[in-house]
Amino acid sequence: MKNLGRFSIFLLFFSFLVFSQIVADPVRTDNAEVELISEQKTIQPGQTFWIGIRMDIRENWYVYYRNPGDSGMPMMVEWMHEDDFSIGEIQWPTPLWLDVAGGMTSYGYYDNILYMMEATAPAGLEPGTEYTLLAEADWLICEDVCIPEYADLELTLTVTDEDVDYNDEWLPLFAETRENLPVKLDYWEASAVYEGNTVTLTLTNTAFDISDYDEIKYFAKKEGEIENGADQPFRVEGNSIIMELEKSGYKTGDIERLWGLVYNSAGWDETGNIQSIVVDVSVGEEAKLIEELSTLSVFSSQFLLILGFAFLGGLILNLMPCVFPILSIKIMNFMQMAGHDSRKVKIHGWVFALGVLLSFLFLAGLLLLLRAGGQELGWGFQLQTPAFIAFMAFLMFGLGLSLMGLFEIGGSLINVAGKANTGDGLRGSFFSGILATVLATPCTAPFMGTALGVAITLPATTALIIFATLGIGMAAPYILLSSFPGLMKFLPKPGPWMETFKQALAFPLFATAIWLIWVFGQQTGVDGLTRLLIGLLLLSIGLWVLYRWKAFQISTTARVVSRAFVAIFIVAGYFFSASSQAVTEQSADGISISHGVEWQAFSNDLVEQHLADGKNVFIDFTADWCITCKANERVVFSSNRVKDRFDELGFEMVKADWTNRNPEITRALESFGRNGVPLYVIYSENLDEPMILPELLTPGIVLNALDQIELPEDLTNAGV
């Protein structure tokens, strides 16, 4: 009996452990109770069913819709289980219109909310087994203050080959949420036209006669399109509802698409049960332009103009200082090859161009792929990653040591100069094209910014054509030089002087390495900078070992051991450096001083508050790795005339620092049709639209732009 009692206790304890693994308790934060739930207790292999994140919100607190409005952040979910269990996007219920502090408007939910998602089980699941879904959820929850919260969620489901068992506890909640989801009703036809700063949306009923309505609200699914807090006047004319929507102050150019939902308190059907309908409609003539580009109408004047901008941007990119070190090496290679077979010179030029072109297409494909996965990225995104900056610093420093003669890279970029008649030389030309493209990404040359901004909004095939044209523009001078060797006669003849020239080219590479080290320090702080310098020390030791043991006749064993030490030093140095994490350092009040100017850290809320107060605003979209940005800042803000003029006009100076990844800044860039830095924007009540300045600035350009802004009357009279 005693043993039986012990066995019973063990059995109860084991059952408790099993049950606790199957049923996960809700996660309780300071302001909400959150759990992952399913409409079914059991699932079948390959079956599609519904799950959701249920949130019970603290009284008077709220969370945000997918478009949070003037401020906020929506629910973000990252799934941690196997990829073969497919989870669809969140189905967002109709939000509430929230008037929050500071005269701003947000869209969100009070009390409780279910974020529904469609799930599809893998066909290979075994009946009788269990599968656990794992998710990390992040959200912002607000009352008078806003607090970011997160939860690790899990849901265990039993796999069966019989009829599924539904979860009676949650069926009513899923049904209620479905009733609050916007739907598409075919008998409501939508059209929209854009004029001035207003989009007029017309909804026409073709099924029954409509009466007067009291409350209709449009909620945009995408941020930065419609002014969130603006009035939305509407009227009923016959069987049509005509709404007027104000364009967002962050939106440049015309609105091309209305994509959102429209809420009607009286309902959109005859019974009044359906209160929200989906609207997705092209706007006026601008939509036709996008449709033409989407169908690859490459002979249209609009598309050819964009390709022209792309070609010029790539061509001018050769003049950017971030490209100079590698291209100067390539020019040296052409000089050395000038005395050889002209046919092979031409081949090297085309191989170099192929490296440039394929690199542009690879970066474009990677960027489009990541953006399709919901990442907020832009041109130069890889330079926001400390590990990539560390790699480039190692590469530039190592190539510089090679040019100085410390060691030789058998088939690499640097050694190609003396091997124009070998396969290694062709590989070197190809690699130099790749490296030139990688170094070009910190720069957005004139014309290039416009082409990139358009390309990233278009279908993948069309975007890739634009990126390919950028690459062709960058490679064009070298194709020309290699295809017409007669131009080589204007270059100096090969001779002993070229060894001196080769060594001299190491200094631009060292300068580039110094710049990369500085960028790395800006991203990771002093500790990260120290780790990178230690990593470069280990790289130097490894290359010294490679050079030292190569200088003697040594055994095969000694050679293998020395190469192993080289690999250990270099790899360990890189990973020690690359493990540094990005940090953001900013003063408590968000103010930084640069070139004698007080800069406020960018946020949408800050800019909108300044605009609401009637102030002029200058926004500098910049990054520490953007050489063009730094050159512009030094040239423009070293001018006391420019700084004094900004002061006279009462400008609020705002800096959007994109050195590290920042989704809010990325979205702001997109709202101006741009995908990279630099970008300079002027807001003023005296301007109908925000003014965008050129990518390359001079004090004269900025002063001419400021002359278009009249001095506010209260400031004019202040000194009288």
Reply yes or no on whether the pLDDT at 11 is more than 50.
no
Reply yes or no on whether the pLDDT at 35 is more than 70.
yes
Residue 622, pLDDT score: 86
Reply yes or no on whether the pLDDT at 411 is more than 50.
no
Mean pLDDT for the stretch of residues 488-502: 61
Residue 667, pLDDT score: 80
- Of residues 470 and 136, which shows the higher confidence score? 136
- Please state, in angstroms and rounded to a whole number, the distance separating the CA atoms of residues 205 and 203: 7
Q: Which of the residue ranges 80-84, 122-126, 347-351, 578-582 would you say has the lowest mean pLDDT?
A: 578-582
- Please state, in angstroms and rounded to a whole number, the distance separating the CA atoms of residues 634 and 597: 11
Residue 367, pLDDT score: 62
Q: Give me the CATH code for the 188-292 domain, please.
A: 2.60.40
Beta strands at 616-622 and 651-657: parallel, antiparallel or unpaired: parallel
Residue 333, pLDDT score: 67
CB 519 within 8 A of CB 392: no
DSSP code at position 25: P
Residue 716, pLDDT score: 38
Residue 302's pLDDT band (cuts 50, 70, 90): low
Q: Report the percent of the chain where pLDDT is more than 70.
A: 72
How is the beta sheet containing 112-120 ordered, strand by strand? 27-28, 32-38, 48-57, 112-120, 86-87
Instruction: Please write the tens of the pLDDT for every residue from 45-75.
Output: 989 999 999 999 999 999 999 998 887 888 9
Quote the crossing angle between the two packed helices 460-483 and 448-455, to the nearest 10°. 150
Average pLDDT, the chain: 76
Residue 31, pLDDT score: 92
Reply yes or no on whether the pLDDT at 687 is more than 90.
no
Q: Do 25-179 and 591-716 have matching folds?
A: no
Q: Return the CATH class of domain 591-716.
A: alpha beta
- Of residues 344 and 571, which shows the higher confidence score? 571
Q: What would the DSSP string read from start to end of 364-414?
A: HHHHHHHHHTT----TTGGGG-HHHHHHHHHHHHHHHHHHTTS---TTSTG
Mean pLDDT for the stretch of residues 361-381: 58
Residue 452, pLDDT score: 53
Radius of gyration of the chain (CA): 31
Structure tokens at 333: 């290679």
Q: What would the DSSP string read from start to end of 198-252?
A: EEEEEEEESSS-----S-EEEEESSTTSB-TTS---EEEETTEEEEEEEBPTT--
Q: Which of the residue ranges 267-281, 394-408, 597-611 would you say has the lowest mean pLDDT?
A: 394-408
- Of residues 194 and 462, which shows the higher confidence score? 194
Q: Compute the 3-state secondary structure of the chain and give helix, strand, coil in percent, each to the nearest 5.
A: 45, 25, 35
Residue 704, pLDDT score: 86
Q: Which of the residue ranges 51-55, 649-653, 673-677 would you say has the lowest mean pLDDT?
A: 673-677
Could you tell me the CATH superfamily of domain 25-179? Thiol:disulfide interchange protein DsbD, N-terminal domain (2.60.40.1250)
Q: Report the percent of the chain where pLDDT is more than 90.
A: 19
- Of residues 713 and 304, which shows the higher confidence score? 304
- Please state, in angstroms and rounded to a whole number, the distance separating the CA atoms of residues 164 and 624: 57
Listed ranges 185-194, 250-259, 619-628; the one with the highest mean pLDDT: 185-194
Q: Give the CA count within 13 Å in the CB-facing half-sphere of 689.
A: 13
- Of residues 463 and 475, which shows the higher confidence score? 475
Show the 3-state SS of 354-368. HHHHHHHHHHHHHHH
Amino acid letter for position 142: C
Residue 630, pLDDT score: 77
CB 610 within 8 A of CB 652: yes
Reply yes or no on whether the pLDDT at 23 is more than 60.
no
Distances (CA, A) of 188 to 206, 262, 287, 647: 6, 11, 20, 53
Residue 377, pLDDT score: 47
- Of residues 681 and 571, which shows the higher confidence score? 681
CB 379 within 8 A of CB 371: no
Instruction: Please write the tens of the pLDDT for every residue from 510-521.
Output: 877 887 787 777
Mean pLDDT for the stretch of residues 652-659: 87
Reply yes or no on whether the pLDDT at 572 is more than 70.
yes
Reply yes or no on whether the pLDDT at 354 is more than 90.
no
- Please state, in angstroms and rounded to a whole number, the distance separating the CA atoms of residues 79 and 259: 27
Residue 676's pLDDT band (cuts 50, 70, 90): confident
- Of residues 447 and 129, which shows the higher confidence score? 129
Reply yes or no on whether the pLDDT at 581 is more than 90.
no
Every domain of the chain and the residues it spans:
25-179, 188-292, 301-506, 591-716
Query: Terminal CA-to-CA distance of the chain, rounded, Å?
Result: 103
Q: Which of the residue ranges 96-100, 291-295, 472-476, 530-534 would you say has the lowest mean pLDDT?
A: 291-295
Q: Which of the residue ranges 67-81, 425-439, 646-660 would you say has the lowest mean pLDDT?
A: 425-439
Instruction: Please write the tens of the pLDDT for every residue from 413-428.
Output: 333 333 333 334 677 7
CB 337 within 8 A of CB 493: no
- From the number of C-beta atoms within 10 Å of its C-beta (0-12, 13-18, 19+), residue 499 rates as exposed
Mean pLDDT for the stretch of residues 249-277: 84
Print burial letters for 60-72: b (CB count within 10 Å at least 16), e (below 16).
Answer: ebbbbbbbbbbbb
